[in-house]
């Protein structure tokens, strides 16, 4: 019996428990992965997925419970231990040295004398051929695309002899085509006998790639199911714990006038490269304009330019036929253009992390007050109103917002923007890192604004959501618009093609546009 197990399970976790202070992050979790199997780990935010994986990769230590690798019990005390046991973790945010070549990143941290570049390069090529990876070992990471960087990350762990791979949301930054390529690689690794754990939020991908799914909810392992017996609906129910409608409301467009018109806009980044390259589009009232694109295609710069934070070198942004370029951010806010930009670190822009809700409400309105003194009363009332209206969970209006959970922070940010009754609302990644319930609250909020005839620009990551929520989708690639399409009759694959730079317009149409 024991012998059989040895050959069968790569990882076996028994009753793993981990607490952080009062919080029970992992509660007697059981998890096992066979060699030659892909296991998907599914769960909402805060369900304990990352905690569990961090224990497998040696960053945290379990309070109780046992971990077996290849049949024998182990203690994993550090990332080095994990590496020696053949566990390789591929983090969501790449851990690569940008200024190094691919090969230097791959050999980083390995023991022994440094070999000649040629020898290392050959070794890397040999491994990449085995698994069907494409890589140029001499290329600098800073010159690589996101998908190439991920390949380097994967090679890093393979080079160190890992047989157990843990991938934390690997597809979040990839286009559908790149995702497909990654899945092919994972399947090949599976064939070679690797055990793979993949963490993802996207149900479609779980169904496509995994053999089994383990579902975590509030720190407990709820169930492990064969993927072939499941569908998205069932997985969601297991994950959330009750039936959930997966449909995003899509109210029809009532009236549609152009409110904001961007003409031939070109913006340069501080380092002199083009962030936005000669783009033209409009945002209409009562409509949600989705913006798709691989991260870093110019979304951030577009937002900041409209909000008046960045200077454009060419073009115009017309708001009711008045050019916004050259106006200060506060003048633009006064005109009713509102931006809720949720950057990767969520709190970086828009909210002051160490201030309470009241003070954060005041940020946008204190200038309107008379005299030198600040009247906190309206802001406090507004904060209290938002707490009720949006079900924000917080001990009070004076609690620093950084202590709130991600979903609640987002609600505070979006709520404040909506309170100012804007006519244009720009949101970037408002559901980033949110669980399903909170995400749907945000979608409803946006739809409400749309019904109020606000022109909404929604910059998003999940193409499924973009397609369901928006009326039109604009696709950015390297700062250029590669297509503006109606969501009716457009498929995810088409958007994906445009994200990689395939132009939707034929050449003639392009001419006609000019």
Partner 1 sequence: MSMLIKFLVAAVGAGTPLLFGTVGEILTEKTGHLNLGVEGMMSIGACIGFMAGYYTDNFFIAILAGAAAGALGALIYAVLTVTFMANQNVTGLTLTIFGIGFANFIGIFVLSKSPEGTLKLPEKITAAMRGGNIPALSKLPVVGELLFSYSPFVYIGIAIAVACAWYLNHTKAGLSLKAVGENPGAADAAGIKVTSVKYRNIIFGGAICGIGGVYCAMIINGGVWISNNVGGLGWIAVALVIFANWQPAYAIWGSFIFGALRVLKYYIPQSVLPFPIAFYDMLPFLITALVLVISSMRKSGRINLPAALGLNYFREER
SS3 of residue 34 by DSSP: strand
Binding of partner 1 at residue 97 (CB under 8 A)?
yes
Q: Could you tell me the smallest distance in angstroms from the CB atom of residue 117 to partner 1?
A: 10
Binding of partner 1 at residue 80 (CB under 8 A)?
yes
Q: Could you tell me the smallest distance in angstroms from the CB atom of residue 93 to partner 1?
A: 8
- Distance CA(324)–CA(317), nearest Å, equals 5
Cα distances (angstroms) measured from residue 432 to each of 38, 406, 496: 25, 9, 20
Q: Could you tell me the smallest distance in angstroms from the CB atom of residue 114 to partner 1?
A: 5
User: Mask of contacts with partner 1, 254-293, x by CB under 8 A?
Assistant: -----------------xx---------------------
Binding of partner 1 at residue 56 (CB under 8 A)?
no
Binding of partner 1 at residue 109 (CB under 8 A)?
yes
Radius of gyration of the chain (CA): 25
Binding of partner 1 at residue 192 (CB under 8 A)?
no
DSSP 101: B
Where does this chain touch partner 1 (CB under 8 A) — which range of 95-103, 161-169, 303-311, 357-365?
Answer: 95-103
Binding of partner 1 at residue 91 (CB under 8 A)?
yes
Q: Which of 8, 108, 146, 465 binds partner 1 (CB under 8 A)?
A: 108
Binding of partner 1 at residue 151 (CB under 8 A)?
no
- Distance CA(13)–CA(460), nearest Å, equals 36
Nearest CB to partner 1, comparing residues 105 and 227: 105
Where does this chain touch partner 1 (CB under 8 A) — which range of 30-38, 66-74, 88-96, 126-134?
Answer: 88-96
Binding of partner 1 at residue 118 (CB under 8 A)?
no
Binding of partner 1 at residue 335 (CB under 8 A)?
no
- CA pseudo-torsion sign 108, 112, 114, 116: negative
Q: In what order do the strands lie in the sheet with 258-268?
A: 274-284, 258-268, 314-319, 322-323
Helix (H) or strand (E) holding 198: strand 195-199
User: Mask of contacts with partner 1, 363-402, x by CB under 8 A?
Assistant: ----------------------------------------
Sheet strands (E) in 5-86: 9-20, 23-34, 37-42, 64-69, 72-74
Q: What is the residue-wise DSSP string for 253-321? A: P----EEEEEEEEEEE-TTSSEEEEEEEEEEETTEEEEEE-STTSSHHHHHHHHTTSS--SEEEEEETT
Nearest CB to partner 1, comparing residues 90 and 477: 90
Residues in contact with partner 1, counted by CB under 8 A, come to a total of 27
SS3 of residue 400 by DSSP: coil
Q: Which of 26, 32, 51, 105 binds partner 1 (CB under 8 A)?
A: 105
Whether the Cβ atoms of residue 374 and residue 366 lie closer than 8 Å to each other: yes
Residues in contact with partner 1 by the rule CB under 8 A: 78-80, 83, 89, 91, 94-100, 104-105, 107-114, 156, 271-272, 345
């Amino acid at each position: 019996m024991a012998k059989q197990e040895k050959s069968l399970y790569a990882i076996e976790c028994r009753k793993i428990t981990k607490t952080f202070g009062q919080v029970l992050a992992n509660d007697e979790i059981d998890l096992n992965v066979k060699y030659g199997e892909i296991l998907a780990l599914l769960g909402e935010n805060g369900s304990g997925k990352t905690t569990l994986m961090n224990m497998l990769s040696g960053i945290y230590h379990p309070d109780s419970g046992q971990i077996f690798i290849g049949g024998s019990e182990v203690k994993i005390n550090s990332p080095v231990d994990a590496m020696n046991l053949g566990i390789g973790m591929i983090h969501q945010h790449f851990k690569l040295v940008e200024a190094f070549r691919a090969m230097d990143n791959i050999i980083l941290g390995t023991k022994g004398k440094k070999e000649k570049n040629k020898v290392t390069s050959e070794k890397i090529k040999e491994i990449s051929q085995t698994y069907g990876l494409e890589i140029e070992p001499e290329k600098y990471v800073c010159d690589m695309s996101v998908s190439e960087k991920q390949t380097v990350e994967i090679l890093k762990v393979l080079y160190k002899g890992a047989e157990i791979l843990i991938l934390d949301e690997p597809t979040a930054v990839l286009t559908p085509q790149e995702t497909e390529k990654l899945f092919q690689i994972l399947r090949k690794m599976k064939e070679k006998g690797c055990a793979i754990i993949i963490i993802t939020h996207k149900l479609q991908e779980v169904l496509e790639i995994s053999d089994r799914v383990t579902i975590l909810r509030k720190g407990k392992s709820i169930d492990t199911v064969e993927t072939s017996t499941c569908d998205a609906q069932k997985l969601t129910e297991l994950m959330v714990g009750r039936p959930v409608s997966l449909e995003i409301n899509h109210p029809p467009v009532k009236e549609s006038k152009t409110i904001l018109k961007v003409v031939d806009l070109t913006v340069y980044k501080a380092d002199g490269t083009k962030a936005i390259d000669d783009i033209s589009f409009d945002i209409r009232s009562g409509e949600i304009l989705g913006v798709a694109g691989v991260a870093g295609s110019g979304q951030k710069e577009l937002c900041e330019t409209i909000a008046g934070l960045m200077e454009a070198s060419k073009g115009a942004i017309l708001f009711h036929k008045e050019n916004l370029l050259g106006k200060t951010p506060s003048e633009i806010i006064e005109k009713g253009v509102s931006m809720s930009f949720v950057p990767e670190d969520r709190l970086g822009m828009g909210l002051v992390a160490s201030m309470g809700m009241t003070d954060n409400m005041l940020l946008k309105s204190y200038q309107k007050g008379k005299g030198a003194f600040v009247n906190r009363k309206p802001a406090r009332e507004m904060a209290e109103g938002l707490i009720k209206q949006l079900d924000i969970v917080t001990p009070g209006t004076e609690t620093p917002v950084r202590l709130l959970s991600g979903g609640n922070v987002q609600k505070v940010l979006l709520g404040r923007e909506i309170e100012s009754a804007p006519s244009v609302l720009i949101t970037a990644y408002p559901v980033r890192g949110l669980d399903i319930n909170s995400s749907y609250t945000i979608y409803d909020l946006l739809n409400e604004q749309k019904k109020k005839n606000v022109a909404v620009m929604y910059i998003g990551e999940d193409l499924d959501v973009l397609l369901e929520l928006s009326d039109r989708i604009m696709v950015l690639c390297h700062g250029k618009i590669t297509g503006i399409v109606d969501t009716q009759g457009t498929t995810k694959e088409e958007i994906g093609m445009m994200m990689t730079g395939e132009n939707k317009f034929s050449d003639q149409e392009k001419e006609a546009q000019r």
